[in-house]
Structure 1
């Protein structure tokens, strides 16, 4: 009887340890290759590393140099333009599409995959496709000329003042369907009894959405903002595929700046400093969101 009890205890302990043993390699790799390299990058940002890592600490010289570079200010300005337009337009389009689909329209089952399909593509594919589409020589402008509309011009991708907006167009096209799905899930989670009570009290559709539906979508708005903001901050592949950061540096973003200074200009310390700034920006976006989520659960 004692042996049976001890065997049962052993099996119970083994069942508790098996998940930990299975997950431990993944956790160890994540600690090393994610958080370990983050700490390594932070350390390099305080060193005089050039083409190869150096481990002599030089304080905040790389950060001072970084904020003194006009190219970095160009990247930050472009990010402000891109991120603000990207977040606002995606949110408006996503919410509008979600409201339309929530009306139980015919063909909803076909429209949802169509709206979501762009998100299944990589940003490299999206950037390449939009590069061809926006190229005046082979894309939209050329097509309009072949159709007889000779006065049509759309050369934003070649214009230093307008090129950044082509990044916005491509990014909005890819992500709006995903934002729509988030808002649609939020709309479907609203209790219909609340809406019926408001309609009985004489609330118009406009007031219904303005005073009840949209305020109840606050978690969806917050989630959409966090996801879109962090996608904007780390945008690299879309820019490289679409414009390559040009013309000139018209579409330079912090992510492309970090890559070029680290691997092309052999200024690893400065590149690491820009990466740390990007990390801090993403953390500043994520922390309030995590705090709000934890506070709501508690």
Structure 2
């Protein structure tokens, strides 16, 4: 305040017009940064709304094709597919996930045929949607998830997904050694160009609740013996580094909004792109508040996505991907 009653340094100058704010923006949010998670269910005649996730549905094969094409036309960066088999097709080892005629693999082939290289086609590489017990792996005779038997199943899942047209497989079960084993399995099967998006720091979170409805989960109990504790940031960085050492092409933090410190820390150590998943509970909270006219859905969604990008995420998985692409355009 030299020689004046008013400050010489006025940060507000750079906020004075929309064009100036755009020019000096430190974080960008573009449709290409966003990946749309999509659910496809076997045995449906029409899309089934997911009550806890307004605007999100379990798709039929046909409706998935239309919605995927629309999202790609809007400019989203990629699609992440989750398969929902019939209850009678679930079993102890998730056989429907590796069946070439299982719903997820058939849907991957549909979209690979329709979209080719116009988008990045991703597949969730996990067993929870396909098992009759709802856990992310194979259970031993004491009812615990058997890490190594589960990893062997993940390898078969990943190869089946790659053969069905996935550009990226996403092991999400938090099993030790899963990334390295999948990389070896993909390479041995001739899929050296298929990338691995590792759910490297996946926390045991209350915010997954609506997702369980979305995939018609059969889970009883919890997943705390393999997913991480919410307070353990150093453990998260260890998990991320292990996945990097095993050959992950992208590492992901899940959930996103409550774990922005972990996203930031991951970005500071990772030589590969960092993704973050804005999970079902994060989406549902904003939708519920907006439905009560407490907040503006569009503004809150874009603000939350920008904050995830600001923390260091190169890629954001979000159920608003297609809507946000339209808003941003």
| TM-score of the pair, normalised by structure 2 | 0.21
| TM-score of the pair, normalised by structure 1 | 0.23
Q: Relative contact order, CA 8 A, sep 6+: which one is greater? A: 1
Identify the structure with the greater strand proportion: 2
Larger Rg: 1
